[in-house]
Structure 1
Amino acid sequence: MSFVARLLLFLFCAATPALAIANALAAAPECPAIDANDAYARNSLMHYVCYYQASPGEPAHSARRPGELPESLEWSSARGHDLTFTQTRSVYWIRLNVRNSGNERRTWYLNLHYPLLDEVTFWWSRDPTDVLVTGDLHRFGSRAINYRYFLLPITLDSGESRSITLRVHSSGALNIPLKLESPEELITASNHLAMTHGLFYGAILVLAVFNLLLFISSGTAYYFHNALYMGAMGLFLLAMGGYANQYFWPESPQFANLSIPLMLVICALAMSLFGRSFLEVEQGTRAYTTLKVIIWTCAGFTGLTLILPYSQTILYNTALSLIIIFVLSFIALNRWRQGYQPAKWYVLAWVIMAGGALIYAAAAFGYLTDFLARESLMQIAIGGQVILLNYAMVQRWRLLNNKLLEVEQQARTDLEDKVHERTAQLRSTMRELENANRKLAALSLNDPLTGLYNRRHMDNILTELCAESRRTGQPLTVTLLDADHFKSVNDTWGHGFGDLWLQQISSILCRHVKRPRDIAIRFGGEEFALLLPGTGTEGAQKVCEAILEELRTTKIEAPDGKIAKLTLSAGIATLLPNESQQTLFARADRALYKAKSRGRDQVVLADIQCI
């Protein structure tokens, strides 16, 4: 037995394996026939069942149909016990003789109510070609009845007897619980299970979605971890119970087996993440380091689950999950002792879960009989755990809310003490801020290089000047000026020398724009503008001609010792009745463009027809 199997045996504290009991049973020469009409006999079906364990190497192990079995085969009676076996490579042959003592033709169902069997083959008639081959390694549609368990309909005429043979083989533990049920009994049991399982899985789904919504709304990590845990646990139980294979992936027999250990290790990962965040395990502590190692181990086991065979991964992942349950319970117990009250409910939740998981694992691995009862017990344990965990989260929320109220009350008290002190400081700061805003506003309206107004100021003031001109009837002229071939200046002598020219142009503009209301503006790189309220086209033209003449005669020594000259081109437009400032500016810009296209170093008046 491997180390993991020994660990499971120790954790489960199981009784002597059913396989050992079965081997000790005396051999029976033949199986007694069961009267299918006798309800008492049907309830004691396992007293009529015979089986044979064919170990690897035996002829019965390689036999593919009953006719290939040796005639000297010694069948053993089940003696009323469910056939449960731990992991084995053996093939199990099952035989049941059924007769109908009634006066009419009737149908019964042989129910093998354990869904996790790789290969199950039924022979139920005298014709050897009447065979049903099914199991987890086959598509779900291979089953005789669309049901999570393996059902075989048996129809017998009045007085007819029939021998039913099963061949069962599986890579994991083997449970072969059999029932012979009438259609009425099967429907009643199925309805009962549908109701109880519907309530259970519906509650799990609702709580998982509710925790997910809480995570989305609050961003608290443990709500997401709890939703992940409940979702993975629900899928694990659905896979173990056969529902997932029936409804979720009926066409994927390989994933049907893979899903069980995969969901189990995801459960282990989710409950580790949830425990670390919910219990508020501090970094640097031994508990935090332990949980960190466990989380990374779960991640590694998730990868191994996709590689290793099912028979190994189910053992490893089960052992890991049980270990995590006990580690989380121990950490929660310490947090409870440290005064963290929500940990009390967390401990109770995991105590219930630990008991249910041990019994369920023992039944799943063949150490306990009656898997169906253990499945119901596991659902009760998980239901109790989920209720306690969610109640623990409510208690934690109340604790955090109380702390928040205390902090809020203390903050309110401190705020009231400081409000008078801060009020005086705030008033002083507001005065300083107003002064700074005034200075900032002034700075934001001026060009830092030339000291002239900038484009923002022009946009603000031009609207007012246009409105004033329309109201008073006084002229308003806009002049746009642009330095000719300024790019060659920058390219030849650098931007520093270009800045000297821009400052020189600004000085010339300031000397010629003398009236208090005239405004000189730099609104681009080498682009300038003059706003001349109360000045008509002729007056603006004279000002521009004087500016261009002075710049022609201006010389500046370049960094290489050469004497550099520069010229300006200008476009002039005077506001027309009902003309917008945008149109005014556009006419001046087109006039400037004409001055450039006509050879530069000249003034061009805007064409009235341009509008």
Structure 2
Amino acid sequence: MVAHLRRWWFIFGLVMTSQIVCASGPLVLTDAPIDHVSVRPYLYFFETNERSLEVEQVRQPSWAKQFTHPEGFTPSFGYSNSIYWLRFSMENQNADELDLIFQIEFPLLDEVKVYQYNGEQLVADFRMGDRLPFLSRPIESRHFQMPINLEGYAINDFYLRVESTSPLEVPLYVSATKLHLAYTSLNEWIVGLAYGIALGLGLYNLLLGFSTRDVVYIYYAGFTLSVFGIYSAIDGYSYMFWPNSVTWQQMFHLYTIFMTCIFAIAFSRSFLDSANKNLKSDRFTRFMNFPSIVGLMFIPMMEEKTVALYMSVVALITIGSLFILGVVRLFQGYYVAKIYLVAWSMLLGTALFAIVGSNGLGFSVQEMKPFLRTGWVLELILLSLGLGQRINLIKLVQIESEREAKESAMLAKKAKQKTLEIQIQSNASLEFRVQTRTAELEGVLKELFEANDKLEKLSTEDELTKVKNRRYFEDRYNLEFKRSFREKQPLSILFIDVDYFKKVNDSHGHKAGDECLRKMAQFICQSIGRAGDVVSRYGGEEFVVILPDTPQEGALKVADRIRHKVEVTPVFVGDLKIQITVSIGVCTDVPDNAYDVESLLVGADKALYQAKDNGRNRTQIGMPKNSFIHNSPIH
């Protein structure tokens, strides 16, 4: 029966994807931008149970002819115990080498092996997967990423061996390195926005639940954070928090799905106020906690494919029964159930798509992720609004109670007055809760945006000196080096080191040393003259300056300004006066290639040490080819 359904879903998937071009040749790379290009139209694959099969065997004609590319092919195979081999080719029609990033955007794969061949020569091979420690990946990213170099006018063949006990899908993309960084930044910002909204809603309602002692908010927070855990697992973020726990990573998404079912039942019964209505649908949904608890217990004991099939059935029955419960309450006149049913329809739809896609029935889970994630966030927002409507409903009920109380209170003035006082207090409390909840939600979102901005700044700025840090320097230097090569303009590097800095720390303490470093950064920034020049703290008491489009004479002038500024300006730490000097290594070059980035740094570094050997407090010129011109110090 399952095989029959799977066949029909696959045919439906082929119809839905019939407009995708199936290319028979290699992926041709011209001088056009290579920005997140899908390799799917160029993929060939075959399925096998021979686990000992090696890539050299696969390349033989007897196996190579088994590779096929069905029309409308989507590399989504569902749960499978087989090994999948995939193959594609790329042709570089440029004279220059191409630095590329391959990215497989499905983080749940157990093991992926990638082989790159240039003709008969194995150029590179990679091994990744969530059966391996996160830190063993070629690039530490939530997706499986590999750096690939493609020689000019070359055709390279790529082979992938993929196996997984989780859903098996291979959405493969290729990008130029620079464009990949831009795409990744934008995509991470969009995903981070969704996660920020969900996390903000979850934490806010958790705090609101503890402060008001209303369990519906705690159940909503548990449901929201559980779904947050599901998406963090399938998006690959969770593995970054426990990079060495392979077993936990493989089971985490299963635990979160069962926990989502449990919290969904608790939240829905509380939100719909069905616990005391003696409804058959309510009793059934309460019973559905038992299968979820059993699933949690058996996750470590059973094969993932078996648990996933059981989980899919439990999740669909749970969501469906809760939807029916919402319909029953709506027909009973509980109008807040309207917004609940809209939100739950989104959850039911996303669950169906996710289960169908994960079983390889014609849809790609990865391609549906933006829609699934959007549905998830909208569902959480709607349920949050529903909580607000629930408060309004309680308020309306209380207003009706007030009216009835007033009519009854006509018999006794004292009773009427007391009822009015109680009602006024209740109205004020409810209004305050509504306003507080809205204001706190806005505050949480504002704090999240501010935290994101602060993290971005901290990732590129040295905390002590407030100049750029070494990470920023390395990224910027690589860009300037390649630009200098393209435009044939000189690039100068200054390595600056505080003389006898250890003596300052030993004699006056680290507080004085830190103040000297802060002043050093200020002196250097005051001595450079252009917006494009970059000052970074390289490490310890060493600073580095990038001077784009600057010949050796200009670099020497900047270096001498810095050295003179430091020499004549004492540093005051309280009443303590400290006089420091610096040694500077200068190296200038017009690069003759875009890859020998170390030559300029080595030249400046050696010049710095030559300046120290020659007596310190001086500027020394270095050459990128390890030969030096020795200057006299400039005082």
Q: Same fold (TM over 0.5)?
A: yes
Offset at residue 100 of structure 1 (A): 1.8
What does residue 255 of structure 1 align with? Answer: 248
Matched, 1:136 2:127: no
What does residue 83 of structure 2 align with? Answer: 91
What does residue 332 of structure 2 align with? Answer: 338
Kindly provide the amino acid, as one letter, of the partner of residue 29 in structure 2: A
- Could you say if the C-alpha distance between residues 403 and 20 of structure 1 is closer, same or farther in structure 2, counting changes exceeding 3 Å? closer
Matched, 1:358 2:348: no
Q: 2:269 aligns with which of 276, 282, 290?
A: 276
What does residue 491 of structure 2 align with? Answer: none
TM-score by length of 2: 0.59
Kindly provide the amino acid, as one letter, of the partner of residue 378 in structure 2: G
Gaps of 5+ in 2: 418-635
Matched, 1:324 2:315: no
- Contact 2:131–2:247 at 8 Å: present in 1 too? yes
Offset at residue 70 of structure 1 (A): 5.1
Offset at residue 86 of structure 1 (A): 2.5
Equivalent position SS for 2:301: coil
CA distance in 1, matches of 2:88, 2:358: 24
TM-score by length of 1: 0.61
- Contact 1:46–1:80 at 8 Å: present in 2 too? no
Equivalent position SS for 2:384: helix
Q: 2:177 aligns with which of 174, 177, 183?
A: 183
CA distance in 1, matches of 2:273, 2:415: 39
Offset at residue 185 of structure 1 (A): 3.3
Kindly provide the amino acid, as one letter, of the partner of residue 385 in structure 1: E
Deviations 1:318-372 (A, max 9, x none): 2211221111111101110110010111111111221222123222222234433
Equivalent position SS for 1:265: helix
What does residue 66 of structure 1 align with? Answer: 56
Equivalent position SS for 2:385: helix
Matched, 1:389 2:383: yes
The 5 A counterparts of 1:31-42 are 32-37=25-30
Deviations 1:416-474 (A, max 9, x none): 74466999xxxxxxxxxxxxxxxxxxxxxxxxxxxxxxxxxxxxxxxxxxxxxxxxxxx
Q: 2:401 aligns with which of 395, 402, 407?
A: 407
What does residue 161 of structure 1 align with? Answer: 155
Deviations 1:488-538 (A, max 9, x none): xxxxxxxxxxxxxxxxxxxxxxxxxxxxxxxxxxxxxxxxxxxxxxxxxxx
Offset at residue 281 of structure 1 (A): 1.0
CA distance in 2, matches of 1:140, 1:146: 7
CA distance in 1, matches of 2:41, 2:414: 91
- Could you say if the C-alpha distance between residues 204 and 220 of structure 1 is closer, same or farther in structure 2, counting changes exceeding 3 Å? same
Matched, 1:242 2:236: yes
What does residue 116 of structure 1 align with? Answer: 108
Matched, 1:76 2:67: yes
What does residue 373 of structure 1 align with? Answer: 367
Equivalent position SS for 1:306: helix
What does residue 563 of structure 2 align with? Answer: none
- Contact 1:19–1:86 at 8 Å: present in 2 too? no
Offset at residue 32 of structure 1 (A): 3.2
Gaps of 5+ in 1: 424-611
- Could you say if the C-alpha distance between residues 69 and 202 of structure 1 is closer, same or farther in structure 2, counting changes exceeding 3 Å? same
CA distance in 1, matches of 2:93, 2:59: 29
The 5 A counterparts of 1:454-493 are none
Offset at residue 206 of structure 1 (A): 0.7
CA distance in 2, matches of 1:110, 1:36: 14
Kindly provide the amino acid, as one letter, of the partner of residue 178 in structure 2: E
CA distance in 2, matches of 1:121, 1:347: 45
Kindly provide the amino acid, as one letter, of the partner of residue 56 in structure 2: P
Offset at residue 105 of structure 1 (A): 1.6
Equivalent position SS for 2:90: strand
Kindly provide the amino acid, as one letter, of the partner of residue 66 in structure 2: W
- Could you say if the C-alpha distance between residues 128 and 157 of structure 1 is closer, same or farther in structure 2, counting changes exceeding 3 Å? closer
- Could you say if the C-alpha distance between residues 18 and 80 of structure 1 is closer, same or farther in structure 2, counting changes exceeding 3 Å? closer
Kindly provide the amino acid, as one letter, of the partner of residue 359 in structure 2: F
What does residue 618 of structure 2 align with? Answer: none
- Could you say if the C-alpha distance between residues 37 and 154 of structure 1 is closer, same or farther in structure 2, counting changes exceeding 3 Å? farther
- Contact 1:18–1:85 at 8 Å: present in 2 too? no
Offset at residue 81 of structure 1 (A): 2.8
The 5 A counterparts of 1:434-473 are none
- Could you say if the C-alpha distance between residues 80 and 192 of structure 1 is closer, same or farther in structure 2, counting changes exceeding 3 Å? farther
Larger Rg computed on CA atoms: 1
CA distance in 1, matches of 2:165, 2:415: 78
- Contact 2:405–2:416 at 8 Å: present in 1 too? no
CA distance in 1, matches of 2:192, 2:47: 37
Kindly provide the amino acid, as one letter, of the partner of residue 272 in structure 1: I
Kindly provide the amino acid, as one letter, of the partner of residue 201 in structure 2: L
Deviations 1:109-164 (A, max 9, x none): 22221111111011124665943211011111221111221122211222233222
Offset at residue 218 of structure 1 (A): 1.5
Deviations 1:85-114 (A, max 9, x none): 132211111122223221212211222211
- Contact 2:114–2:161 at 8 Å: present in 1 too? yes
What does residue 208 of structure 1 align with? Answer: 202
CA distance in 1, matches of 2:176, 2:215: 51
What does residue 287 of structure 1 align with? Answer: 281
Offset at residue 393 of structure 1 (A): 1.2
- Could you say if the C-alpha distance between residues 255 and 16 of structure 1 is closer, same or farther in structure 2, counting changes exceeding 3 Å? farther
- Contact 1:18–1:83 at 8 Å: present in 2 too? no
